[in-house]
Structure 1
Amino acid sequence: MKKPELLGGLTPAQFLRDYWHKKPLLIRQAIPGFQAPLPRQELFELARRDEVESRLITQRDQGWDMQHGPFAKLPALKQKAWTLLVQGVNLHHPAADALLRQFRFISDARLDDLMISYATDGGGVGPHFDSYDVFLLQAHGQRRWRISAQDDLTLEEGVPLKILSNFQPEQEFVLEPGDMLYLPPHYAHDGVALGECMTYSVGFRAPAYQELGEAFLDFMMDSIDLPGRYADPELKPTEKPAELPAAMVARIRDELNKIRFTDDDITIFLGEHLSEPKPSVFFEARGEDLSFARFFQGAKKRGLVLHRKTQMLYRGTHVFINGESFQVGRADKAILTKLADQRRLEKQEFDSASEDLLEALHQWHESGWLELA
């Protein structure tokens, strides 16, 4: 991260030390003169698409209403108090992706997506809290934020949204375009549009340990090796045939306790799990195959860039891309580390690439995972 103005003059290290997971931070003109890269109509077009996650939230006298997209038609602009939420805009728009990448002073393993909230006057989603860190960047118009460090996070019952039943605001801010508010997890907040407005939310992944545990056990299924079969050669007669034998429980306990997992197992699991595309993410394979020779010629001339939908991680000798993993040698690792960190490779950076790596890059290009620059 080379733009300290994004954090109000703080360095990333200072921000992470003093604010991350700890307390809110209001940053006036985090991006001076910021103008929303997506006009209203372009955002509405995204909400019409099947592969884009969107929600429409309306507040009426009788309560809250939430609908899931796609939306062939949205309420009239003159109608007050409705909000359109479009998730993962960075996957579909290069400028939104570039904005999200400004927050890469935090690991890609944690950085999630950029959501855009469009609201007419009075629109919002009610007082609530998030289970993850979030940066709220005002992109157009004004929004009034009220926030609270309250411990009472009880939710209203019978409401389609997670709305706090006893919100007690402690601070209040009106954000203008370019202003940004950081909130740590579980910090109560309520944003209301003052006239038509758009807010960009940069969110971070915070998977539940239960989710990770279930996924890890599923991942380990292919790695478990427990030879042999249960046997009880010293079995004695029983007068309680329905009772589970204690010796059987102990014997199977001892066998299951032989299951072990290593740091390598956890590394590979996390790399594959956290780089796996979301269910709504699809890549478009090349319509025309580019021969290996022509691909290599183009890469040497123009360089390569990762597609904005591609997630690439690494640790040690392991490299992960879109849910797949493999091990590489030192020379190839240096090249792939650059590709993952910079999300691009310059034309001169292929000189030491192995034939296997070049073939892998060619296959990723054919799958739509990366592109010629």
Structure 2
Amino acid sequence: MIKPTQFEPSVKPLNRLGNLSIEEFLLRYWQQKHAVLSQVFPGFEPPIDANELAGLALEDEVESRLIQEATPNQWTMESGPFSDQTFATLPAENWTLLVQAVDQWNLGIWELLQQFSFIPNWRRDDVMISFAVPGGSVGPHYDHYDVFLIQAEGEREWTIGPKCDDLTERAENDQLDLLANIDAQETHLLKPGDVLYVPPGVAHWGVAKTSAMTISIGFRAPSVGEVFQDFGKELEGLLGNDTRFSDPKRTISQSPGELAQQDVDRIQQILAKHVADPKVIANWFGSFMTEPKRDELLPLVDRVDVDGAYESCLVRDAVTRVAYYQTEDEFLWFCNGEVQSLNPSCAILAERLANEAVLSLEEVSALVDDESTREWMNELLEQGHYHLYE
């Protein structure tokens, strides 16, 4: 069992990002342009240190990578799990260790993620942490998703470049998707407690000036291609093999080789009919966006030591992703890719569970006030999605 440093839990969402209110940040920066946010976490002390991070990289269940720049602008990548010998033989400069989904293994990092709940839970992804020695970096690149880069320890200099896309020139590298050059527009030195926000597509490159740890909070952003592919599978399951293209009362074809506009209109109408149903979209999208990226791990109680961190609380498991969708006549609950239609009494509890990662047992007891709600709550506990700490 991996034991994180114990500290006073804090799962309240941030109400400011440095000198910006959350409302101002969302209006002016989110999905639009990068922002350097000074001292969002003044006096920040990371809940995990470099040795604990390296310890995670030794585990088979943890996704990790080691990136080295052996010669200038030539990066190589090795995937974990690693051994103690790997770290003992590393040079003093120019390497970076990346560990994915640390929020699923460390209580403090999981709590840090909860502070970003001003973005919906289903949109938030996992937390990656990088530790780099002086000169360490992963090279110039861009991401397809939003990311908050929290400087946790040491100093890292970030170079910001222009907006990029699939046509932007790439470096010759078989292992990493790096840019041939970054066309630097700004540089910023981040210190502990500072945060850099980078929207999708913006080129960036962080180089450690000292030994440095950076906590990356990313957000899910499926490509339109992925959306159509997955929704197509959903429709296939819903409609079955008997629902097909049909064209009654068609006229004689004067040009048998032509795909006529009337036939294009027919197939467009078929597609539009099913895309136009918001309940069908909600049922699929809620499942799609709450589905775990990796195979489910053991419950949180078997991965991290939370003894003493919580008392008289109901805590959501770090692997569990939940959301809800409601209309006047239906309440849908999504949990790790599964969907349930809940009755009104369960819906009241479900809304609180989706909005809050931690609830007091007093509030839970008040909400679990009939047999059906108790049975549903017990199901969530038995499945390991929630844990009671009395």
1:70 equivalenced with 2:81 (yes/no): yes
Asked if the contact 2:346/2:376 (under 8 Å) is kept, the reply is no
Alignment correspondent of 2:358: 344
1:320 and 2:334 correspond: yes
Task: Choose which of 313, 333, 346 in structure 1 pairs with 2:347.
Answer: 333
Separation in 2, partners of 1:246, 1:171: 52
TM-score between both structures, scaled by the size of structure 1: 0.85
Q: Given residue 87 of structure 1, which amino acid in structure 2 is its aligned partner?
A: Q
Alignment partner, residue 275 of structure 1: 290
Do the aligned residues in 1 keep the contact of 2:14 with 2:116 (CA within 8 Å)?
A: no
Whose Rg is larger? 1
Query: How much has 1:218 moved relative to structure 2?
Result: 1.3
Q: Which residue in the other structure is 1:240 paired with? A: none
CA distance in 1, matches of 2:319, 2:149: 22
Gaps of 5+ in 1: 233-242, 288-300
Give secondary structure in 1 for the equivalent of 2:153. strand
Contact 1:283 1:369 in 2 (8 A): no
**What is the CA–CA distance in structure 2 between the aligned matches of 1:230 and 1:9, rounded to whole Å?**
57
| TM-fit CA distance, 1:175 | 1.0
State whether residues 268 and 325 of structure 1, in contact with CA within 8 Å, keep that contact through their aligned partners in structure 2. Answer: yes
Where 1:85 maps in the other structure, the secondary structure is strand
Partner of 1:214: 229
Deviates more, 1:67-76 or 1:195-204: 67-76
Q: CA deviation at 1:77?
A: 5.5
Among residues 276, 295, 304, which one is paired with 2:314 in the alignment?
Answer: 304
Residues 1:102 and 2:112 aligned together: no
Match 1:138 to one of 140, 151, 154: 151
Counterpart secondary structure, 2:211: strand
> What is the CA-CA distance between 1:79 and the residue it aligns to?
2.7
Kindly provide the amino acid, as one letter, of the partner of residue 334 in structure 1: I
Instruction: Measure, in 1, the Cα distance between the counterparts of 2:112 and 2:301.
Output: 27
Show the counterpart of 1:12: 22
Give CA deviations for 1:307-330 in whole Å, capped at 9, x if unaligned. 121111001011111111111122
CA distance in 2, matches of 1:127, 1:278: 25
Q: Distance in 2 between matches of 1:272 and 1:132?
A: 20
Please give the residue correspondences for 1:141-290 in structure 2 after superposition, counting only pairs within 5 Å: 141-149=154-162, 153-225=168-240, 227=242, 257=270, 260-261=274-275, 262-284=277-299
TM-fit CA distance, 1:27: 1.5
- Offset at residue 151 of structure 1 (A): 5.1
Asked whether the 8 Å contact 1:31–1:178 carries over to 2, the reply is yes
Instruction: Judge conservation of contact 1:77–1:120 (CA < 8 Å) in 2.
Output: no
Moved more, 216-225 or 346-355: 346-355
Deviates more, 1:319-328 or 1:259-268: 259-268
Shift of residue 74, structure 1, vs aligned partner: 2.8
- Show CA shifts across 1:7-32 (max 9, x none): 01322111000111112211221100
Paired residue for 1:355, among 366, 371, 384?
Answer: 371
Asked if 1:60 corresponds to 2:73, the answer is no
C-alpha displacement of 1:302 = 3.6
What's the Cα RMSD here?
A: 3.3
After alignment, is 352-361 or 164-173 more displaced? 352-361
Would you say the 8 A contact 2:134–2:210 is kept in 1?
Answer: yes
**Structure 2 CA distance, aligned partners of 1:8 and 1:230?**
56
CA change 1:336–1:58 in 2 (3 A) is same
After the TM superposition, list the runs of 4 or more consecutive aligned residues in structure 1 that deviate by more than 4 angstroms: 225-232, 243-247, 253-256
- 8 Å contact 1:51–1:280 — kept in the other structure? no
2:31 aligned partner: 21
Gap change, CA 1:140 and 1:280, over 3 Å in 2:
farther
1 CA distance for matches of 2:25 and 2:171?
34
Structure 1 range deviating more: 103-112 or 326-335: 326-335
Deviation at 1:341, TM superposition (A): 0.5
* Rounded Cα–Cα distance in structure 2 between residues aligned with 1:150 and 1:254: 36
Displacement, 1:223?
A: 1.1
- For 1:293, the equivalent position in structure 2 comes to none
**Aligned counterpart, 1:290:** none
Cα distance, 1:191 vs. partner? 0.7
Q: What CA distance in whole angstroms lies between the structure 1 residues aligned with 2:120 and 2:24?
A: 16
CA displacement at 1:149 relative to structure 2:
2.3
1: distance between equivalents of 2:259 and 2:164? 46
Partner of 1:291: none
Q: Is the 8 A contact 2:169 2:179 kept in 1?
A: yes
Letter of the structure 2 residue corresponding to residue 311 of structure 1: R
| TM-score of the superposed pair, with normalisation by structure 2 | 0.81
